[in-house]
Structure 1
Amino acid sequence: MITVEEIRVIGEARVLAGLDQGRLDLQRHLLTHGDQPQLTRADYTNLSEAVGLRGRGGAAFPVALKLQDLPARGVEAVVVNGSESEPVSRKDRLLLTQSPHLVLDGAVGLAHALGAPHVLIAVHDPAAALSVREALMERDDGLAVEVRETPGRFVAGEARAVLSALEGGLAVPPGRRVLPTRKGYHRRPTFLSNVETFAQLAVLARLGSRGFSSTGLISEPGTQLLTVDGAVQWPGVIEAPTGVPLDTVLQYAGAEPGPVLLGGYHGRWLEQTDGVTLQRPEVSAGIILALGPATCPLGEVTRVAQWLSSQSAGQCGPCVFGLAALVDDFARLTVGDPQGWHDAHRHLGLVPGRGACAHPDGTARFLTSALEVFDDDVQRHLSGRGCGRPVLGLLGGAR
């Protein structure tokens, strides 16, 4: 669980306001944020469009477009996707455990505006589930709000996998790519987004577009939550304006020099961070991992690849066989086998675009980026000398 010492803010605290004093119960929440305004569907759509609000999960889909895609009547549910299944990510669990009322304000307020009779909060973390249930005991929202616990596997956090789990099925993404706004919970129109999105909606409802836009980028103003980990002095969750330079965040976290993984296990590696700003969709799920100079990059990447392969949904060849082949390729490359290098490039050209979900594509992106950024390290391993560094396990949850 995130401690107060692991919560940091660059600029103005909005989503994390008040958390320097610990968890916000309903009384402290209202003292910190004020009452939640009652807005219409048009209000939410216009506000989201005015500030260019995007979902704060991996897809970064514009919230206004998602709202516009819903029918005028018959919205079945609002679903809060709290299945934060990337091991290193902590921002959504932080909100659910420390500021649950802000998330509930965003979800319940939107459900009332859409005429949806249900709000479902899907979580896989027991502490988060307990915190939200305790928060619900303090509220009277006038509609059905339910906490559902879901599996913690990596692919179980994908939107369609969450919907399947909520309906009693397997928590795996189905092969069909149908938007939840068309066929979501119980095959009916559903608004689904991740935890931070609803917290940002609650902030936007209170501040309005002008107040919300007083910080951050012109194209997508406001703040964002970032999980920073790896070779840093102060790991944790940072709230920062959108468009903040990556170097500023790294300095704030006391990061060691070296490559950075941006976007988590489905993200990409950066060798140089100068001039990089943090905004969606580039920052993806808001994860920044500093590698530092002391660990073996290829060893770190191979360990994560092994973990990602173990998280396969097991429903298509690129995921079952393609990822397993890539793990073998990188393992051979790490011990200096040139054929591993050739096979890795061949398989990385075959996997993308052929899976039943985004997991094979994201893994391939992560590994392709690693081969590009760590080319010097690859050559040292292929020479038979290796890099001489241990594998410290700095990439987080694949431990």
Structure 2
Amino acid sequence: MITMHATSVIGEARVLAGLDQGRLDRQRHTWTHGDAPQLTRADYTKLSEAVGLRGRGGAAFPVALKLADLPAKRIEAVVVNGSESEPVSRKDRLLLTLAPHLVLDGATGLARALGAPHLLIAVHDATAAMSLREALMERNDGLAIEVRDTPARFVAGEARAVLSALEGGPAVPPGRRVLPTRKGYHRRPTFLSNVETFAQLAVLARLGAKGFSSTGLISEPGTQLLTIGGAVQRPGVIETPTGVPLDTVLQFAGAEPGPVLLGGYHGRWLARTDGLTLQRPEVSAGIILALGTDTCPLGEVHRVTQWLSSQSAGQCGPCVFGLASLVDDFDRLVKGDPSGWHDAHRHLGLIPGRGACAHPDGSARFLASALEVFAADVQRHFAGGCGRPVHGVLEVPGE
């Protein structure tokens, strides 16, 4: 289990600056970061392009391109997606809880620059929502800002699902795939990104392109937040320069040897980590899970498969029937039935590109990489089992 407030830094603390002393109220926030500069839309676009800033959610879309896709006028809203529905991620909730003013600086600054009449913050965590509301009472931004509660479901964190929930509809992604910059909140142009993106924008506004680029990769400088958990001695949220070697992070966290899951439950398994650097979109949602060697890998994957199937939006066959079939496939595979392996490969070949949202594709990526990385364990199960119990190293909500 990952501790919510466990933070650490490799290199320079920027987004996590000051959090070693706990939550930053308005005064401590200003002491730590200084006053927020007032920038124009052109300023934000130029800065984001200069440092190659990408969104810090799963899609890693370039912020400058997102800004450029918005019309010149009549932008309806800026939306902060705080519905961190990936169950093993903690970085966005941690920022909302401990550094709400940094997130608000980025969001309010951009809303003013775009002339957006609405600033909406979608949050499913009660503690984070309370922290945000307390922070708003300490500020006078002169904007219409709302903190909205959203469901704590996996698909509810997808951008279009968030917009649907904000409009009073179901928190599920609609079948149409239209960018929020074209048709977002109330079908009008909207800038939507996740919590860390706005915190990084606030840091970028203060440091400028040159200061922001003093650490990290040349192609995408700065820092990144990573949630690390599983079989590690020091789980939590780590701020690192972009491009840091994965092995450095694993050693820093005291990870046990063994396979590593990169990107969470829509990510992929790695048998080896040497030589791999952490950069987007490879690192995806910023999640690193060490499995260790004491638990049954296939049993762990089966547990997550059951949960992924339960999170279906119920809108398409690949999600409703495909994921349910994979639960049965992996159940038989764990029990040593070769038909489960064959059927899993067959079903995984039918899912990608056919779903109404990204959930089937992401789940298929997670499971396909598991079959590849744990091929030797599959053979052990066919021969009578791997001899290891399932310890529940991978966190599954509700267990």
TM over 0.5: yes
Counterpart amino acid of residue 130 in structure 1: M
* Aligned counterparts, 1:356-371, within 5 A: 356-371=356-371
Residue pair 1:181, 1:189 contacting (<8 A) in 2 also: yes
Structure 1 residue runs without a partner (length 5+): none
Q: Counterparts of 2:36 and 2:199 in 1: how far apart (Å)? A: 12
Number of matched pairs: 397
**CA deviation after TM superposition for structure 1 residue 382, in Å:** 1.3
Q: Counterparts of 2:219 and 2:327 in 1: how far apart (Å)? A: 39
Q: Alpha-carbon deviations, 1:74-107, whole Å to 9, x = none?
A: 0000000000001110000000000000000000
Counterpart amino acid of residue 386 in structure 1: G
Q: Counterparts of 1:325 and 1:297 in 2: how far apart (Å)? A: 19
Residue pair 2:47, 2:204 contacting (<8 A) in 1 also: yes
**CA deviation after TM superposition for structure 1 residue 397, in Å:** 3.0
Q: Counterparts of 1:300 and 1:26 in 2: how far apart (Å)? A: 43
Structure 2 residue runs without a partner (length 5+): none
The yes-or-no answer on 1:220 pairing with 2:220 is yes
Residue pair 1:226, 1:286 contacting (<8 A) in 2 also: yes
Q: Counterparts of 2:56 and 2:96 in 1: how far apart (Å)? A: 15
Counterpart amino acid of residue 10 in structure 1: I
Q: Counterparts of 2:104 and 2:386 in 1: how far apart (Å)? A: 49
Q: Counterparts of 2:135 and 2:39 in 1: how far apart (Å)? A: 22
Q: CA RMSD in A?
A: 0.8
Residue pair 2:247, 2:274 contacting (<8 A) in 1 also: yes
Counterpart amino acid of residue 185 in structure 2: Y
Q: Counterparts of 1:392 and 1:380 in 2: how far apart (Å)? A: 18
The yes-or-no answer on 1:202 pairing with 2:213 is no
Q: Counterparts of 2:340 and 2:39 in 1: how far apart (Å)? A: 57
Matched with 1:177 is: 177
Identity %: 84
Residue pair 2:4, 2:90 contacting (<8 A) in 1 also: no
Q: Alpha-carbon deviations, 1:238-264, whole Å to 9, x = none?
A: 000000000000000000000000000
Counterpart amino acid of residue 80 in structure 2: V
Counterpart amino acid of residue 247 in structure 1: D
Matched with 1:389 is: 388
Q: Alpha-carbon deviations, 1:276-295, whole Å to 9, x = none?
A: 10010010000000000000
Residue pair 1:297, 1:377 contacting (<8 A) in 2 also: yes
Q: Alpha-carbon deviations, 1:307-349, whole Å to 9, x = none?
A: 0000000010000000000010000000000111110000000
Q: Counterparts of 1:396 and 1:212 in 2: how far apart (Å)? A: 34
**CA deviation after TM superposition for structure 1 residue 3, in Å:** 5.5
Matched with 1:100 is: 100
**CA deviation after TM superposition for structure 1 residue 134, in Å:** 0.2
Q: Alpha-carbon deviations, 1:95-132, whole Å to 9, x = none?
A: 00000000000000000000001110000000000000
* Aligned counterparts, 1:244-393, within 5 A: 244-383=244-383, 385-393=384-392
Matched with 1:76 is: 76
SS in 2 for 1:214: coil
SS in 1 for 2:116: coil
Residue pair 1:229, 1:396 contacting (<8 A) in 2 also: no
**CA deviation after TM superposition for structure 1 residue 183, in Å:** 0.3
| Cα separation, partners in 2 of 1:134 and 1:55, compared to 1, 3 Å | same
Matched with 1:230 is: 230
SS in 1 for 2:192: strand
SS in 1 for 2:226: strand
Q: Counterparts of 2:154 and 2:108 in 1: how far apart (Å)? A: 27
* Aligned counterparts, 1:46-85, within 5 A: 46-85=46-85
Residue pair 2:3, 2:235 contacting (<8 A) in 1 also: no
Q: Counterparts of 2:195 and 2:201 in 1: how far apart (Å)? A: 10
**CA deviation after TM superposition for structure 1 residue 396, in Å:** 1.5
Instruction: Compute the TM-score of the two structures, normalised by the length of structure 1.
Output: 0.99
Q: Counterparts of 1:387 and 1:256 in 2: how far apart (Å)? A: 19
**CA deviation after TM superposition for structure 1 residue 138, in Å:** 0.4
**CA deviation after TM superposition for structure 1 residue 2, in Å:** 4.7
Instruction: Compute the TM-score of the two structures, normalised by the length of structure 2.
Output: 0.99
SS in 2 for 1:8: strand
SS in 2 for 1:292: coil
